[in-house]
Structure 1
Amino acid sequence: MERNEVEQKYAELLKDPSFDQLGLLLKEPNIFRVLRVEHKELNHSNFISWLLDPAETHGMNEVFLSRFLQDVFVDNRSSSFSLIELAKIDLTNVEIRREWKKIDILILTEKIAIAIENKVWSGEHSEQLKRYKDTIEKEFPKHRKAFVYLSPYGIESSEDEFYVNYSYERINEIIENILAIRGHQFGESITNYLKDYSTILKQNIMSNDQVNLIAKQLYNNHKELLDFIYDNIPDPFDEFQEKLDQMVKSKGWKIGSKNRYYVKFYTPAMEEMIMKYKKANGWPDKEAFLFELGFYYGKNISFNSYVSPPVQYFDYAERLTEILSEIPDSRKKLGQKWKAHFKTSLKWPLEEKMEKWDEDSEKEVEAFLDKITPIVNKVEAKMLEHRDELIKLKEGIEQYD
């Protein structure tokens, strides 16, 4: 793009009312942004601990804690608990511990112990979750126990057999519901704290606040200029995503739903067999199945074959899960929501690799793609064995819908 063209498009951007609106919204006072803690894991843990503690100054008593426990108890991995029993548990004397034996948050009563590991933008350390579980088992042998893995998008942990995956999106839903129903009961300062925290979650963690929507509209209106600016901002994650995207395409695979830090794909032969839901399921294009390469934490490249959560049309998802489970070396423990029949990973310090990207770096990624190719082929072959059944099931649902 020539300089004159850049200046002309920049002038058009400045005249766009959305540009002023976005600027005003970003300048609105927010205590968490003022303190520069919106991305800090420790501060999120502190605030969530405050919300969970019925004795704290927020005035919610045990409401937030109760809503949180309802979600945890209903999960199959909390098998020692029953949702019906929750009403019988005395939550008034609950103890909330922070960083006890390196566990981020511990909810403790005379009879229950619930450990929460909070991961905002960092990854797991070696066998970290297993160590925490062993600690709780040892220290509280007679307590009924549950383990929670909290992350921005509710991703599953390395110990997904035991840890309930929980999202910041759900944390925000609880806050918004409490504000809507009980907000009039709180003082102005507490209401502002809750609203500010909700805004920070939507803007910085979930990217679905009004600010984000205006930014997207602004992007649509001035795509060429903003793409030009974006292309000239060095970002190792985005640079790697573009490279990985191209390498996946060069294998003859097709790109699926797009999210930052992930490249999702499927084979051309699988396309006609993959259902797309009408309701949101966690992926922008709502596919029922995709292969996924992730580099969210910048420490490794993960590979998963995912049957996504069936938000509707459960028959299709359940049948596809059964079909892929027929593959001899598929995983037996698939996960509660995201069914991963296959998973593997490559150690990959992303920023370090991108800083000195060379032919060897590319060959290393290509070797990993070659490693997963037999898995991709096996999944494709198994689906093709059931091609007519899957297409009939998919088309029958679409026709009914």
Structure 2
Amino acid sequence: QLRIDVHSIQWKRVLDIESRFLRHIVVGLGGKAGGIPYESGFEITTASEIAAIHALALDLMDLKRRMGEITVAYNVDGEPVKARDLKAEGAMAILMKEAVKPNLVQTIEHTPAFIHGGPFANIAHGCPSLAAIKLALKLADYVVVEPGFGADLGLEKFCDIACRVGGLKPDLVVLVATAKALKRHGGVRRRDLKTPNPEAVERGLPILGKEIENVKLFGLLPVVCINRFPFDAEEELDVILDYCGERGVPAAVSEVAARGGKGGVDLAKEVLHQLERRRADFRFLYPLDLPVEEKIRTIATKAYGVSDIELLPEARRAVRRIRRLGLEGMPINMAKTSLSLTDDERRKGLPSEGYVLRVTDLRPMTGAGFIVAYCGEINTMPALPTHPAAERMDIDEEGRITGLI
């Protein structure tokens, strides 16, 4: 009845286990009883459109409406087939009726926290749920939200996607930096990151400067939080503090991982001080009425610092389809590596002059309400590393377990 084109089915299955073998599969084998064979694949659960909708829905009925808008496939005429056409949104809403409620927990120091929603910021929009944020704003004087990864990914998506949907206006950004990460961007090999190297930290500082610039692009106030590791040398931390001080950017060292709340007092005082003396002028990075390609170019050139973008053939075909379906007005969700400002995880530091970001494909997530732009070799089903964590795990005859951390 729906005349679905089996070559245009968009909906993939999801799994919470990494497996490169499930990225591209053929389903429907086994004759007539097995269904119609077609190519498909698995995604990691946090890349699913359901995960994004869960984090963007304001209540159960909004969740149900958005799930009904999911484009499951296209028919033989190229028109979208939605989840509501399959009469599936009611059943999905029943499954999610408890999950939509914010989950209140407490830290070991009895501080209340909502842990609710977890779409990854490299392949999804990377923000906790709007329902939890809005509830927290009614319960506390200050609310700290944690978008994933850096100011080029999580912050940009929080501002340009979540804040648009939820009508939020953030005041200040705590930008987390580590000497370890800056040394990595300064050319230090992974196995040498625990060795003190103030010169490498200094070489990596331009990446911190770019993230500070990104915060200011949104009209927000930056405060740099230097997350201290046990192996950090004082000279390395001083390099970061001096860099921020020379640029008039407030910064503080945080030791909450080792000392709990006491280790974050200096940072908290600095945040409160900045909120009392200055006001933010929040703004979006781009207007929604820009063409899709220009919105992607704006993010790539302003937030990543690349020179331009290149839409590969599959992406160009997707742009034409998006335009034909009247979906150009949605914000962009960039899916790219979190390990580089470029689309190549091996490139550290700032993008080289003339670097062009490759956009391989585009997919409108009509339930979540954004267009995903896939960059470089990003994949929505991660693979295990050469030496997975399981190799370090063991249990002895007395039941003692080791290697989990």
TM-score grouping bracket, smaller chain normalisation: under 0.3
Q: Give me the TM-score of the superposition, normalised by structure 2.
A: 0.26
Q: Give me the TM-score of the superposition, normalised by structure 1.
A: 0.26
